[in-house]
Copies of this chain bind each other. A is one copy, B any other.
Amino acid sequence: MSLNVRSVAVVGGGVIGASWAYLFLTKGLRVVMSDPAKGAEDSFKLFITKANADSDGSASDLQKLLVRFEFVDDITPHLPKVDFVQENGPERLELKQRIVASIDEHTRPEVVIASSSSGLPPSQFITECKKAPGRVLVGHPFNPPHLIPLVEVVPHPGTNQASITAALEFYKSLGKRPIQLRKEIPGFVANRLQTAINNEAYSLISRGVVSAHDLDAAVSSGPGLRWALTGPIAINTLGGWEQDILRNRFVWDETDIAKLRDEVNKSYGSTDWDEIVRERDSVLMDLLASKSKATSLD
């Protein structure tokens, strides 16, 4: 049934929820959003206005999107009507358990409930669900979800295959690139890979091998250009220095952290991050447009 999603509940309208909602709207879906934070509706309107402008949309394009959008104080009475739920509440276990239990109670039992959680394994936050916890899973996006294709679909041991398949199909229908985790694991996949490279980066910098600036260039002017196009298995590089890496595994004592902090400040203390973020997102859009024409790349 998720193959026929027409309306989505976006529960939680922070940065991630807002970006999901924008994506759903641009794909022709109806969106009902709730968020208890003060000014959440205004924040969303600001977000969507900017996102629309960044992708060269006109004011009338924006109005067309907003016709299918509704911000509500209480999502409960709307839940029986939606075909998919994307939950984006805070990463606090008890709160998440309550939110997901309430969504479970008020949605039709076959509707997939996906949480954007990046840290909580789904088996931990379904414990209060009484109705159909088998359709609950994690649908973890990368920020911002309306630009980055990856979505990690993470089932708990009781999630049924139909819901996993429906979630994968739904995200694919939006132009996303969902991946399926076969089991829960802390950090899921992409954040674990990021942690692996980060730990080695911190080690190299704090050991005085390279400046933080040059470390970053070693990625973004080198293998990072490959990683935007093909993953590490497809690239398949193996060298003889693994022993050395294991020998020098980074230990987080205060001296190491202080050295690292100094190096990062030296390289980035006076950086204009706004400009970097603006240009990064602009190039990213070019890159994605170019990459989408290459049918053999994932």
Task: Give residues in A with beta carbon < 8 Å to B.
Answer: 118-119, 142, 148-150, 152, 177, 179-183, 185-187, 189-201, 204-205, 208-235, 237-245, 264, 267-268, 272, 275-276, 278-280, 282-284, 286-288, 290-291, 293-298
Contact = CB atoms under 8 A, between A and B. Distances in A.
A213 B210 CA distance: 33
Given A189-B218, A224-B226, 10 more contacts: A182-B208, A182-B209, A191-B241, A193-B201, A194-B237, A201-B232, A215-B232, A219-B231, A220-B298, A223-B227
Contacts of A268: 233-234
A191 B239 contact: yes
Contacts of A181: 209-210
A186 B207 CA distance: 14
B244 A217 contact: no
**Chain A binding surface, main DSSP class:** helix
Nearest to A250: B242
Contact of A232 (B190, B198, B282): B198
Given A221-B149, A297-B280, A186 B233 contact: no
B280 A229 contact: yes
Contact of A152 (B150, B218, B293): B218
A198 B225 CA distance: 16
A228 B287 contact: yes
A218 B193 contact: yes
A143 to B, nearest CB: 10
Among all A-B residue pairs, the 10 with the closest Cβ atoms: A216-B231, A187-B241, A224-B227, A150-B222, A228-B228, A279-B294, A179-B214, A196-B200, A286-B290, A177-B221
A201 B279 contact: no
Contacts of A215: 179, 189, 231-233
A240 B148 contact: no
Contacts of A211: 180
Nearest to A244: B186
Nearest to A228: B228
Max chain B CB contacts within 10 Å: which of A118, A199, A221, A287? Answer: A221
Name, among A183, A226, A234, the residue most crowded by chain B CB atoms within 10 Å (CB to CB): A234
A244 B204 CA distance: 21
A193 B200 contact: yes
Give the interface centre of A152, A230, A268 by most chain B CB atoms within 10 Å. Answer: A230
